[in-house]
Chains A and B, each alone.
Chain A
């Protein structure tokens, strides 16, 4: 996906419209700003940031408003360290529409976070952490974020543990949005449990193609793993498909169970579904219902 697609005015307009929806929801008391488990541990004033609709009015620095005429919020040191980390899986299993969808989701979530004055950091990963841009804040960082997202390509295998190492070892935890298909042979629980234990607020966004839920395959096939190249000979019939779905359902159940246990969010984002739906559910810290 090119940066131009992400920076497409139409796409940005959609994101802006989404942001306003979130503001409306917040004004109506429906929530919209994530409720963080963390509180600012420090009362030291750090800086001002412009007031955004939806911000807590009690935090407006009225003195600064009086001076500048622009409403601003006081940020204290703890808030200054909150970081939204967008961990995007760039392994080969996401090649094609899945990576595009993951990038769009990351772009939408990043835009909203930046528009809300949050700091956002892109953390691409596959079987190893990839170097991403430095955390940035504000709308001014959106083009750079989109540029970085558009440059992501799918290759390599999936290794959550190694890929999220930088985030897991960060000094200051924050919101960790993991966008992946979670098709990791080594499993996801280990590294994510570490993330939760490190204080991260974790939201899992599982990006899948619709044909992964209902494969339209039949006959004698050789299935080639896009990440490892391993081949599996299989005669696909109703029984084989049922076994696959059972195994997939077990993965979903495991993700759901983890999310409920660790108060994480878990959203399943299918590539043929509207982007906004997934974004809203992520912001709502939703946990997917059991899959049938």
Chain B
């Protein structure tokens, strides 16, 4: 309960208690009684004083009643008022922090206009109203706890940002509704936004919601899609193709140029000028050579001229690796069946050599051995010797095992059949906790997936020469599937585009415990758990550089949203039908009835009078 005094100066009346106490202490208020003889009473007096020399200060009922009267009168004169918590008013102020609030209008942005509108609103709010400030982007965040401090509220407004994300107000509305309910009293929600909200919502707060709209309709051209692929031109050269979708969110045709540049560095890679019809969406392809050594570098596709909303004038990507895949075969003897199957893919570059020299992003075939550590992330082990081989244990050789089942859904075994394949000899595999069977026989598992965080590892308990598999088409298909799998994983490691507001997941070797992420907002260190790190905050579009001991990766994060980029008008409407909890403004405080306090004072005085006038027990004949 909030208790205040309207006339605190009236408390000076409490000073009347001091002379009252003094009178009681100093003045001897004793009744005179005549007794036959004081001789016997003198002894009683001596004994009483000996026991309690402070007897004169014994609390007096009359004094207490009079002090109570003074206190009650003083309080009544001070006019206390009380406001119960449920009578107070609260306001939740939601600031739109979506990308559209970054739209430039004249010399300001819509966010700056929103701050001014919010400050004007706060100036009009009664001084005893608590205001809660929330930011609404892809999710809601609290910019300020409920307060009526103008300085704190202004600081909270300054913390608002226009992030490169699609906006949605539902979460902020629900959060505001919950907070207002917890605070009690009357409440309302005020949303300061341009109304260009990408995600419409279903939130239905129980308090009134109003919109303070900022911003005027503007024309915007947005880049809403981007993808880079490795390809080959008609002459057979490796090239990179950048696909982009450009949307004209305006009422008139316009001409723009789209340019791809390296990042960092800014070297122009390709450019294209195009005309956009009103409301049209035009795909654009920019092609540039896939020069060696540029795999994994960042690329920025930028639209010129820039317009009012710059967040969607640029998109980011990473140059993918070319189609060629380096395949290393580490075998004691030449394996013609394997080499022939690999040669069927013109985009495979095969070489024979030791495992340790295999490239990291290539594919490695190892025959008759199981190397402990190899650079390659994609490894196929054929016919390992008995013993431990990663996640599997290789047993003793068996004769003529019969294939009974195989995982047709595995990418390596897709589109092939092993029916009719006969094996002369094989070594069954005992699976570890993280290995899965790919091919089973009547004598045990013959092929297994023993992949880990480092890469894909396929273990076959036999070599092609120990079976008639190379005579079947399925062998070539198996080799091709393995090559494609290696290509896809290579592409995933080096590319992997994300959208803003989505968490960014990074896989790293299991020995890594932490990595550093350099983002458009700054650097942050992320812990690694089970071979992966997660960056939750991706509110800014750009190239995120991730670095860890022994490795690094570049990940593009893009703002791609036509809905957010459509700045022609407000799409968001405050929820209708919200129950109005109370009239605007805080109800007046409840004044504690002064007459009751005065009555209390009068009762105390009357009680004192009765106490003083009561008939004391006296001896007959007393004065």
- Interface residues of chain A, those whose CB is within 8 Å of chain B, are 92-98, 181, 183, 185, 209, 211-212, 215-228, 230-235, 237, 239-241, 243-244, 246-248, 251
B39 touches A234 (CB 8 A): no
Complex partner residue of B44 from A220, A241, A251, CB under 8 angstroms: A241
B41 touches A218 (CB 8 A): no
B36 touches A223 (CB 8 A): no
Question: Provided the pairs A96-B620, A96-B621 are in contact, do residues A221 and B44 lie with their beta carbons within 8 angstroms?
Answer: no
Q: Which 5 A-B pairs have the closest CB atoms?
A: A243-B44, A93-B36, A216-B617, A183-B37, A225-B38
Question: Provided the pairs A222-B30, A224-B32, A224-B623 are in contact, do residues A243 and B48 lie with their beta carbons within 8 angstroms?
Answer: yes
A-B contact list, 27 entries, CB within 8 Å: A93-B36, A93-B37, A94-B36, A95-B621, A209-B36, A209-B619, A212-B619, A216-B618, A217-B617, A217-B619, A219-B31, A220-B29, A222-B30, A223-B33, A226-B35, A226-B37, A233-B28, A233-B30, A234-B44, A234-B45, A239-B47, A239-B48, A240-B47, A243-B43, A246-B43, A247-B43, A251-B40
Q: What 1/0 flags go to B41-76 for Cβ under 8 Å of A?
A: 111110110010001101000000000000000000
Question: Provided the pairs A243-B44, A244-B44 are in contact, do residues A225 and B37 lie with their beta carbons within 8 angstroms?
Answer: yes
Complex partner residue of B39 from A97, A185, A215, A235, CB under 8 angstroms: A185
Q: Complex: how many Å from CA A181 to CA B40? A: 12
Q: Complex: how many Å from CA A96 to CA B623? A: 13
Asked whether any CB of chain A lies closer than 8 Å to the CB of B584, the reply is no
Q: Complex: how many Å from CA A237 to CA B48? A: 9
Which chain B positions have C-beta within 8 A of A97? 620
Interface of A is mostly: mixed
Q: Complex: how many Å from CA A212 to CA B45? A: 16
Minimum Cβ distance to chain B for residue A230 (Å): 6
Minimum Cβ distance to chain A for residue B178 (Å): 63
B36 touches A240 (CB 8 A): no
Complex partner residue of A240 from B34, B44, B56, B621, CB under 8 angstroms: B44
Query: Which residue on chain A has the smallest CB distance to residue B60?
Result: A220
- Interface residues of chain B, those whose CB is within 8 Å of chain A, are 28-45, 47-48, 51, 55-56, 58, 616-621, 623
Minimum Cβ distance to chain A for residue B186 (Å): 57
A220 touches B33 (CB 8 A): no
Query: Which residue on chain B has the smallest CB distance to residue A237?
Result: B48
B620 touches A211 (CB 8 A): yes
Complex partner residue of B40 from A95, A183, A211, A220, CB under 8 angstroms: A183
Q: Complex: how many Å from CA A97 to CA B41? A: 21
Which chain B positions have C-beta within 8 A of A183? 36-37, 39-40
Q: Complex: how many Å from CA A233 to CA B48? A: 11
Minimum Cβ distance to chain B for residue A99 (Å): 11
Which chain A positions have C-beta within 8 A of B30? 219-222, 233
Minimum Cβ distance to chain B for residue A158 (Å): 8
Known: A224-B623, A247-B43. 12 other contacts (CB 8 A): A95-B621, A96-B621, A97-B620, A215-B619, A220-B31, A221-B30, A222-B31, A223-B41, A234-B45, A235-B58, A243-B43, A248-B40
Complex partner residue of A222 from B32, B43, B617, CB under 8 angstroms: B32
Which chain B positions have C-beta within 8 A of A231? 32, 38
Complex partner residue of A223 from B28, B38, B48, B620, CB under 8 angstroms: B38
Q: Complex: how many Å from CA A224 to CA B33? A: 6
Which chain B positions have C-beta within 8 A of A251? 40
Complex partner residue of A224 from B34, B43, B618, CB under 8 angstroms: B34
Which chain A positions have C-beta within 8 A of B45? 232-234, 240
Query: Which residue on chain A has the smallest CB distance to residue B40?
Result: A247
Which chain B positions have C-beta within 8 A of A98? 36
Query: Which residue on chain B has the smallest CB distance to residue A215?
Result: B619
Which chain B positions have C-beta within 8 A of A181? 36-37
Between A234, A247, A248, the greatest number of chain B beta carbons within 10 A of the residue's beta carbon is seen for A234
Minimum Cβ distance to chain A for residue B276 (Å): 105
Which chain B positions have C-beta within 8 A of A226? 34-37
A216 touches B623 (CB 8 A): no
A235 touches B48 (CB 8 A): yes
Which chain A positions have C-beta within 8 A of B619? 209, 211-212, 215-217
B55 touches A235 (CB 8 A): yes
